[in-house]
Structure 1
Amino acid sequence: MNVAIIPARGGSKRIPQKNIKDFCGKPMLSYAIETALISGCFDEVVVSTDCPVTATLAEKCGAVVPFMRPASLSDDHTGTTDVIRHAIKQLRLLDYDVELVCCLYATTPLLQGKTLKRGLKLLTSDDSVDFVFSACHFSFPIQRALIENEFGGIEPFDPKSIGQRSQDLTPTYHDAGQFYWGRAEAFLDPTRSVFGSNGRMLLLPTHRVQDIDTIEDWYRAEILYQLLKVEESKGNHHNETA
């Protein structure tokens, strides 16, 4: 079975109660759950949380919370992979026949169901692919980055590249931080990495990507979400592969 696993712990220092905070009229977590359900990709949408309030909200939105995440996996230092491994193991103990998994972050209001479908298609089109994750072009060539030296002066991060034209530099990408499709066995195997040779990127347009780690990020995401909704209401649909 295909399962979406949404990590949504209760604690958040930079944006308190981030996962259940109101975002443009609805709790943030509700967007991820609704997108997963609308996509039609999943037999079950599971929320992994340590918070009873979050669990209740998740169930009201149509997800299931078949187990509570232990405190040992709910602090600021716990990695996402550990949370997903724990969830897969717990689900299998509960007789869920988990085969394909999508780790879907709770703070993804810009994500669309059709994008999840594209990720699933990319994963299942090649048996050698273990993971597919959302990614985006860097908006500026990272090879032409600048650094400040110890005296306050400016130096190029890569002196060999600073004078080159952007189109002559190798294209670079970053993790968009929205979702990670993968085979359950690959998630459970510590020798396999999302960012390894058997991982693949699904590129998203920059207008569909926004980290939400700070309150400034939050405000920017709300503005972008509202603008996209206005465009959609006018029938102006941007190309997702732009």
Structure 2
Amino acid sequence: MPDTARPGSWATESAESALPGRRLSELVEQAARCTADCCGASGMVNEGAGEPPAAVTHPDLAALVAVQLRSGDGPIPASLDRGKTVDCADLLREERWPEYRALALDSGVRSSVTIPFRRSGLTVALSLYSFRPGALSDAPHGPARALGDLAATCLVRDRSYRAALTELDQLGTALRSRPVVDQACGIVMHVLGCDADTAFGVLRRISQGANRKLADVASAVVERRGRGLEKELASLLN
């Protein structure tokens, strides 16, 4: 695993590390390594909308996650619904979730445990798997819990970080377009003989009516230098 998989590196910000898939990959790799008798792990993030990001330590586990999400039946949906740990001590004797049970046994998995971590409308579901029955009874109280708590906290922070970057990008776009909008307002003021507030309102109404960005409308006005706009603009004030 690359250095970014170490828990200490989760404090480092980058566009790549802030992706949910990257966080989940780090979580499942570390949780599987730190849990005795664990043959693999899976993790997913549920924010209540859209397809949840997921990560697994082994390709066979992807099918176990997929069958649960498709059917809405299994330890992961049950854990997300209840907000509690769901322990399957021995799948050979398990009577719940027949489709998940059959696929797990076919993959050699005899036991699993799913631990949910909830933060600010976001839930991380960490599932651990073992080839031995009853091998994961202590997992919810071991290192995996600390790793899951950290991952959930980081994912919430990452979400805020991405939202801040989006806001900054939008602000930068607005600042870059401001000179053009100011020029367009000046032209509209000259053509219509109106004040600045009225001119800006006219541009905004054109933008909304044509379903175009305000900056694009302003650029078109500047390029035309107001030529032929008298009737078009005046009609908006009637």
TM-score, L = length of structure 1: 0.28
Q: Which has the larger radius of gyration?
A: 2
More helix per residue: 2
TM-score, L = length of structure 2: 0.28
